[in-house]
Amino acid sequence: MSIEDMIRQMAVDAKEAARGLRRVERPKKDAALNLMAARLKQRKEEIRRENAKDVSLARDNGLSGSMVDRLTLTDKVIDEMSAGLLEVAGLPDPVGQVTGMWRRPNGLQVGRVRIPLGVIGFIYESRPNVTVDAAALCLKSGNAVILKGGSEAIHSNLILAEILRGALAETGLPERAVQVVPTTDRDSVTSLLKMDDLVDLIIPRGGEGLIRFVAANSRIPVLKHYKGVCHIYVDEEADLNLASEVCFNAKVQRPGVCNAMETMLVHESISETFLPIIGKRLKDAGVEIRGCPKTVAIIPGAKIAEESDWPAEFLDLVLAVKIVQNMDEALDHIDRYGSNHTEAIVTKNYGRARRFLAEVDSSVVLVNASTRFNDGYQLGLGAEIGISTSKLHAFGPMGLEELTTTKFIVYGDGQVRT
Amino acid sequence: MSIEDMIRQMAVDAKEAARGLRRVERPKKDAALNLMAARLKQRKEEIRRENAKDVSLARDNGLSGSMVDRLTLTDKVIDEMSAGLLEVAGLPDPVGQVTGMWRRPNGLQVGRVRIPLGVIGFIYESRPNVTVDAAALCLKSGNAVILKGGSEAIHSNLILAEILRGALAETGLPERAVQVVPTTDRDSVTSLLKMDDLVDLIIPRGGEGLIRFVAANSRIPVLKHYKGVCHIYVDEEADLNLASEVCFNAKVQRPGVCNAMETMLVHESISETFLPIIGKRLKDAGVEIRGCPKTVAIIPGAKIAEESDWPAEFLDLVLAVKIVQNMDEALDHIDRYGSNHTEAIVTKNYGRARRFLAEVDSSVVLVNASTRFNDGYQLGLGAEIGISTSKLHAFGPMGLEELTTTKFIVYGDGQVRT
């Protein structure tokens, strides 16, 4: 069987499974999730054995230490995956929620009801625990999922999927609701991206290269996340201690993630008091500062920023800093260089806080809080399958609701159109 | 300037206009819409003069009478376009609506707010009044729009756009919020579909060929509508008079539209009483019936349906009819041949009504009402820019809300992540 035929068969099976899942009520889905959690713990040794194959191949292939770390399924990681399944079981089921209902003048009662999307293709790199997370969120939201993980995690992903599917079968749910593509051939990705008659949504998760490849080659809608070039604007009326805490947290607490601050914009009138304080603190934490000429004149040791630093996602202990004359200049800078991901203002001024919230065109806009809060759990969605920086369907963190759509239902009494 | 450069410049201008529109409150948008309505009436003669060029070219090119009719802007059509603008001005503004707000344990107040999508590319065929409708809905929802109409309507579209833009300028709104592609070259479409860095959404409206072309070539998300193969299932416990009214309306009232019934599924136990009644009524209205063998045995003059009739969108006075043994067979038939557009059940049975609503995977599912109600106005959305049969972002009729997305706003007091 060719790769394309294999993927088509998987998609056909997924669509059939999705049809079955549409009718399943919450208790059965939760029972399956709970059973999956138990089975993962019971079959730890098998998981570790299969994972060891991936880890050993990764070492042979010269993968970096941090990549091998992310690949490794320790007892602790397996326990966390199991706990994650229980957490998803505890979340409310979005399917069947009535998001609105109204009456028309002719007596029709019209409502909108949440339904699953159908079949989701999930394409990701590296960490095999994503296999379990994604499967759990798709199942809970009533969707079948086809998982295409990184080639370096193939043995781990296959054993995890086998365990999850066993639990589905034991619960009487369609096994094919969770499928892992059993090959590392990249053609399997291009084939999957063509199945627009069977697959409803593609979610890529990984580096910018993967995401651009998927977006450019997919005939299926893609929920994508390119990059997070997140800004904090420190206003002339900022509480400088608060600003220092928020900016430090946003840059240093976890610099390698998409919601870390990459550029700090500082109002001119406070720059000479604020920048020395935050500059020292950041430098003590190992942050390299690349600033506009005025910044460099204030922070000792800061380098001059190049044009390419303003739109950069450093994902590292590097920060671009620019002094601005007013909030308008900050807003212009964000519009020009930002990625519509996450921006924050630090201010005590009510009007500018409101204006910043209204005018910044990003998926999450904050006042007096760290950009690091752009996260499904932190914002109260209960879970997160990714962050979308495009505006269609979902903008910002995606939880269970974002894996559903709504249909209209209409209760009539014989109404016809005239 | 090449076509691609021209389209890119239009998209850049549209993005800039969209940035301006984001900040505009409702009264100004409504003022522009009201002014557009007045200007259309005042400049009727100019409109008719430009339209006459299109009509005359269409006749020279041998377009059918019905196509020339659709192209022609009579005084009445211009008055309707003007009234449509006033109607959109009267609709609530979705932008700025808070769709939810909640408090996190750390004190963060998190909300979701509706915002415009940004730049919309609208690609359509024939009727020039769509130019005005689409521009009005995009403006009201805060979006800039690039309109690519059919080549046969180019003179009409250009004069209409000029009038709309004049009204924008008079109101102090960005003129480039409404742009008509000033060429009939098809390369302009392929160019537009590549501008995924500038355009947020493509809406194609027209025949299946156009829509498939757009979907296959776009790197921008597309809200599309392939076809409506709509079913009505007449249950064993149907009120047969009500069933006859609903089915007759769904097939005959306007057979050329996507929400007309194309296949009727009839429960076996009532087929011998129901089919002769509805069969005669349909035949008297000129409907050709293509049925399963059992149907043909009951309705005199019915033809045997071929396999290709079950998934067919006839858009004409033709109806496929199948007798089913129970609702499960009807549901299976819909899953196999349907287009996820609109399906209805006629029944007095409470349980089956509820089950049909829950299990049918279509954008609009009705009980005891005509499929013809799948329409933004009829369902109470106030307006309609199209009907989506794909599930991402919008499923079913799309009104103003569907031309927006939501962003998260967060009110904090110095919160950081630990």
Helix (H, G, I), strand (E, B) or coil at B221: coil
**Contact status of B61 with chain A (Cβ, < 8 Å):** no
Q: pLDDT confidence of B226, banded at 50, 70, 90? A: confident
> At residue A67, does pLDDT exceed 90?
no
The sign of the dihedral angle between the CA atoms of A79, A80, A81, A82 is: positive
Give the DSSP H/E element, type plus range, for residue B120. strand B119-124
ipTM metric = 0.95
Enumerate the β-bridge partners of residue A264.
A232, A321
Mean pLDDT of B285-293: 98
Q: Judging by beta carbons within 10 Å of its beta carbon (0-12, 13-18, 19+), is residue B266 exposed, middle or buried?
A: buried
> At residue B47, does pLDDT exceed 80?
yes
> At residue B1, does pLDDT exceed 80?
yes
In B264-349, where does DSSP find H-type helix? 268-284, 293-298, 327-337
Contact B291, B280 (CB under 8 A): no
> At residue A340, does pLDDT exceed 80?
yes
Q: What is the overall mean pLDDT for chain A? A: 96
Domain boundaries, chain B: 3-224+396-410, 230-378
pLDDT of residue B161: 97
> At residue A126, does pLDDT exceed 80?
no
> What does the alpha-carbon distance between residue B280 and residue B405 come to, in Å, rounded to a whole number?
49
pLDDT of residue A127: 86
CB contact under 8 A, A417 and B249: yes
pLDDT of residue A206: 86
Model pTM greater than 0.80?
A: yes
Of the candidate ranges A103-107, A222-226, B179-183, B361-365, the one whose mean pLDDT is the lowest? A222-226
What distance in Å separates residue B405's CA from the closest CA in chain A?
6
- For the CA atoms of A333, A338, A344, A350, what is the dihedral angle to 10 degrees? 40
Q: pLDDT confidence of B333, banded at 50, 70, 90? A: very high
> At residue B315, does pLDDT exceed 80?
yes
pLDDT of residue B248: 98
> At residue B126, does pLDDT exceed 80?
no
Q: pLDDT confidence of A413, banded at 50, 70, 90? A: very high
Q: pLDDT confidence of A207, banded at 50, 70, 90? A: confident
Give the DSSP H/E element, type plus range, for residue B158. helix B154-171
Best of A194, A350, A363, A408 to substitute, by most chain B Cβ atoms within 10 angstroms, is A408
Best of B99, B141, B240, B392 to substitute, by most chain A Cβ atoms within 10 angstroms, is B392
The sign of the dihedral angle between the CA atoms of A27, A33, A39, A41 is: negative
Of B70, B221, B1, B69, nearest in space to A393 by CA? B221
> At residue B370, does pLDDT exceed 80?
yes
Q: Where are the beta strands (DSSP E) in B17-89?
A: none
Give the C-alpha distances (Å, rounded to integers) separating B208 from A311, B211, B226, B228. 41, 5, 6, 11
> What does the alpha-carbon distance between residue A410 and residue B366 come to, in Å, rounded to a whole number?
5
pLDDT of residue A27: 98
Beta-carbon contacts of residue B45 (< 8 Å; ≥ 6 apart): none
Mean pLDDT of A258-285: 97
> At residue B39, does pLDDT exceed 90?
yes
Strands B109-116 and B98-103: antiparallel
pLDDT of residue B244: 98
> What does the alpha-carbon distance between residue A216 and residue A210 come to, in Å, rounded to a whole number?
10
Class of domain A3-224+396-410 as given by CATH: alpha beta
> What does the alpha-carbon distance between residue A279 and residue A319 come to, in Å, rounded to a whole number?
10
Mean pLDDT of B11-32: 96
pLDDT of residue B223: 92
Please tell me the CATH superfamily of domain A230-378, with its number: Aldehyde Dehydrogenase; Chain A, domain 2 (3.40.309.10)
CB contact under 8 A, A249 and B417: yes
Mean pLDDT of B351-370: 97
Of B326, B331, B328, B329, nearest in space to B343 by CA? B331
Mean pLDDT of B86-93: 97
Q: Which residues of A touch B22 (CB under 8 A)?
A: 359, 361
> At residue A128, does pLDDT exceed 80?
yes
Helix (H, G, I), strand (E, B) or coil at B241: helix
pLDDT tens by residue, B148-198: 999 999 999 999 999 999 999 999 999 999 999 999 898 999 999 999 999
- Kindly report the CA angle at B228 between A113 and B230, in degrees rounded to 5? 75
Q: Which residues of A touch B379 (CB under 8 A)?
A: 104, 108, 110, 408, 410
Go through A154-176 and write b for each residue having 16 or more CB atoms within 10 A of its CB, e for each that does not: bbbbbbbbbbbbebbeebebbbb
pLDDT of residue B23: 86
pLDDT tens by residue, B211-221: 999 988 998 99
Three-class SS of A73-131? CCHHHHHHHHHHHHHHHHCCCCCCCEEEEEECCCCCEEEEEEEECCEEEEEECCCCHHH
pLDDT of residue A124: 93
* Domain B3-224+396-410 matches domain B230-378 at the CATH topology level: no
> At residue A120, does pLDDT exceed 80?
yes
Three-class SS of B257-273? CCCCEEEEEEEHHHHHH
Q: pLDDT confidence of A224, banded at 50, 70, 90? A: confident
Mean pLDDT of A238-251: 98
Q: pLDDT confidence of B224, banded at 50, 70, 90? A: confident
Give the C-alpha distances (Å, rounded to integers) separating A106 from A292, B84, B119, B146, B230. 64, 22, 36, 37, 22
Query: And the tokens for B60?
Result: 């020279």
Query: And the tokens for A202?
Result: 């593609």
Q: pLDDT confidence of A348, banded at 50, 70, 90? A: very high
Q: Which residues of B touch A23 (CB under 8 A)?
A: 358-359
CB contact under 8 A, A416 and B369: yes
Best of B246, B409, B413, B418 to substitute, by most chain A Cβ atoms within 10 angstroms, is B409
